[in-house]
């Protein structure tokens, strides 16, 4: 039997607190929709889909009880002390990871481009899963964070193999994959390759095909210049340099993994969270994913003021509640 949310607030004080007067209401009600709009989280109907209860509970105003991030000051960007384990592979570099044993469904976090497993979303989800007693894994891709390998030699295909290695070697039973940005692209590939294990997906600013599609939107002269130089300086606000330096070979190899040109054979429940102020990956990419997957159980949740990293307090509680809803749903169905 799962722990009631009231108890979660005591077990997980870093993320959850309670106000009086809150109660659940059926999904899809007028109250749900008003709360979602008022709090800046818009749950959109796609192909007959229902409003996401998580979006409704994300609202930041009104008399309802909602979760609030409660750490003193800002949530830390990473843990200062954490034991890192390594997944040894005979044919590929070792992968750094943190794992919590627990009940199924487990949760696996897939970070974004040039990110690592110590980001705010990964740590918050780990703490939340620990409070629930559910299994959780976060890890670094080859060449990133604490994992072995050379970042300049990495490709989308190699990182896809990293995800499959983690699923095959570090998890047992059904898993919910939470993919941030590039991780949202890779989670789709994992769901296709391991449909028996991946039972639900949560995308946060999922960037399916985005490196390739962005490159192809450049003028032909710019594309030719990048090909001749052998690298592309992809603009970003997330580092001091102001760009990510991507080898041209990385872009060409990524073309082999594009998914939005045809139906995507995924049928599990999917939640796609995206900020409408995202200047890196437009929210329309999540809409495209929802349109291409075969699953009919898909919710797209738009945060009106959300940015790419979705790391503000309301963004984080929306993510946690979305994962919690999926755990509850899968546990009920089991």
Active site residues: 181, 278, 308
CA distance 199 to 105: 8
Angstrom distance (rounded) from CA 26 to CA 13? 27
Handedness of CA 169, 108, 276, 298 (dihedral sign): positive
Q: What is the dihedral of CA 280, 117, 311, 176, to 10 degrees?
A: 90
Q: Is 196 left (phi over 0), alpha (psi -120 to 50) or beta?
A: alpha
* Residues pairing with 298 in the sheet: 270
DSSP reduced 3-state for 155: coil
Degrees to nearest 5, angle at CA 290 with 285 and 295: 155
CA 239 remoteness from chain centre? 20
Q: How far is CA 235 from the centre of its chain?
A: 21
Hey, which residues does 85 pair with through a beta bridge?
97
Strand partners, 118: none
136 close to 130: Cβ distance less than 8 angstroms: yes
Which residue's entry shows tokens 């032909």?
Answer: 220
SS (H, E, C) 252-278: HHHHHHCCCCCCECCCCCEEEEEECCC
Q: What is the CA radius of gyration of the chain?
A: 19
What is the C-alpha separation between 305 and 147, in angstroms, rounded? 34
What dihedral do alpha carbons 195, 116, 119, 130 form, nearest 10°? Answer: 50
Q: Within a 10 A sphere around the Cβ of 186, how many other Cβ atoms?
A: 27
């Amino acid at each position: 039997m799962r722990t009631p949310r009231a108890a979660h607030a005591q077990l997980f004080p870093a993320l959850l607190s309670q106000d009086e007067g809150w109660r659940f209401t059926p999904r899809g009600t007028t109250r749900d929709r008003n709360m979602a709009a008022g709090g800046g989280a818009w749950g959109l109907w796609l192909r007959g889909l229902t409003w996401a209860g998580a979006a409704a509970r994300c609202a930041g105003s009104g008399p309802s009880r909602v979760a609030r991030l409660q750490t003193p000051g800002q949530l830390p960007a990473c843990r200062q002390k954490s034991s890192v384990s390594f997944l040894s592979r005979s044919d590929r570099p070792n992968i750094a990871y943190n794992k919590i044993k627990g009940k199924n469904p487990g949760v696996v976090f897939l970070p974004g481009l040039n990110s690592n497993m110590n980001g705010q979303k990964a740590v918050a989800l780990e703490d939340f899963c620990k409070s629930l007693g559910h299994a959780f894994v976060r890890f670094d891709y080859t060449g990133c964070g604490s994992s072995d390998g050379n970042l300049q030699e990495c490709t989308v295909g190699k990182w896809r193999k990293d995800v499959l290695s983690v699923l095959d070697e570090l998890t047992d039973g059904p898993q919910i994959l939470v993919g941030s940005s590039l991780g949202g692209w890779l989670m789709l590939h994992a769901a296709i390759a391991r449909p028996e294990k991946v039972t639900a997906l949560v995308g946060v600013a999922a960037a399916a095909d985005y490196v390739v599609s962005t490159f192809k939107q450049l003028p032909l002269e710019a594309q030719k210049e990048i090909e001749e130089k052998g690298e592309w300086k992809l603009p970003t606000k997330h580092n001091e340099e102001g760009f990510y330096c991507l080898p041209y070979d990385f872009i060409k190899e990524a073309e082999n993994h594009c998914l939005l040109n045809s139906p995507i054979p995924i049928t599990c429940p999917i939640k796609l969270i995206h900020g409408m102020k995202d200047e890196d990956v437009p929210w329309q990419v999540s809409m495209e994913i929802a349109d291409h997957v075969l699953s009919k159980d898909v919710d797209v949740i738009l945060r009106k003021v959300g940015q790419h990293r979705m790391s503000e307090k309301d963004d984080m509680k929306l993510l946690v509640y979305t994962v919690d809803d999926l755990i509850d749903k899968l546990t009920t169905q089991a």
